[in-house]
Amino acid sequence: MGDTRGIALLPTLTKVIAKVVAQRVNFMAECHGLLAKEQAGFRTMEECTAQAATLYEIATKRSIRNQRTYIAFIIYAKAYDKVPQSALIRKLESIGIGGHLLKVIKALYDDPRMCVRAGSSLSPIVNYHCGVRQGCPASP
């Protein structure tokens, strides 16, 4: 597919459920300190400009002190397209997500199938077991 990626067209009720799931997982992650304060991606009330300002401030202070500064930017292109869904479920379990919430998450990925629409034509339906749904409220 090159530089293109598909998006999930989900029923409205599924989107509502996925949004509630995402909010609960985020709440649990924040309450239990599962994310470092520096990890701002996909978090509520975090901005790219704040991260850039912090980086600028650190680099400026180090420059004033004549300290070398090395910065690495890593772009995980299509990383979320390659996550095995079973590994995602195991990771959620390992950080303490269980019960009804985990059952709902598993149900969102139960028997995942997709097809591709090109114009008015649809490809055959195929199963997939890697990747999170692009465009789903529960996906980053």
Task: Report pLDDT digits (tens) over 13-62.
Answer: 999 999 999 999 988 888 888 887 777 766 776 777 888 888 999 999 99
The answer to whether the CB of 39 falls within 8 A of the CB of 26 is no
Whether 138 is in a domain gets the answer no
- Between vectors from CA 60 to CA 55 and to CA 64, what angle results, nearest 5°? 150
Residue-wise DSSP of 110-135: SS-EE--EETTEEPPPEE--BSPPTT
Of 77 and 25, the one with more pLDDT: 25
User: Of 99-103, 105-109, 126-130, where does the model show the most confidence?
Assistant: 99-103
Residue 87's domain comprises 12-127
Do the beta carbons of residue 133 and residue 10 sit within 8 Å? yes
Decide if 78 is inside a domain.
yes
pLDDT digit string, tens, across residues 128-137:
888 888 888 8
Q: What's the rounded Cα separation, in Å, for the pair 92 and 30?
A: 14
Residue 118, domain member (yes or no)? yes
Among the ranges given (41-50, 77-86, 123-132), the one the predictor scored with the smallest mean pLDDT? 41-50
In a domain, 132, yes or no: no
| Cα separation, 55 vs 101, whole angstroms | 36
Q: Is residue 84 part of a domain?
A: yes
- The total number of structural domains in the chain stands at 1
Q: Is the pLDDT of residue 2 over 70?
A: no
Instruction: Establish if 139 belongs to a structural domain.
Output: no
For tokens 């919430």, name the residue: 101
Of 14, 8, 29, 22, residue with least CA distance to 107? 14
Establish if 67 belongs to a structural domain: yes
For residue 89, name the pLDDT band (cuts at 50, 70, 90): very high
Question: What percentage of the chain has pLDDT greater than the value 70?
Answer: 92
Q: Is residue 1 part of a domain?
A: no
Average pLDDT over residues 94-121: 89
Q: DSSP letter for 76, please.
A: -
Distances from the Cα of 110 to the Cαs of 2, 39, 85, in angstroms?
27, 30, 10
Task: Give the other-Cβ count within 10 Å of 140's Cβ.
Answer: 11
Global pTM reads 0.71
- Write out the two tokens for 85: 């869904």
Rounded Cα–Cα distance for residues 127 and 117 (Å): 16
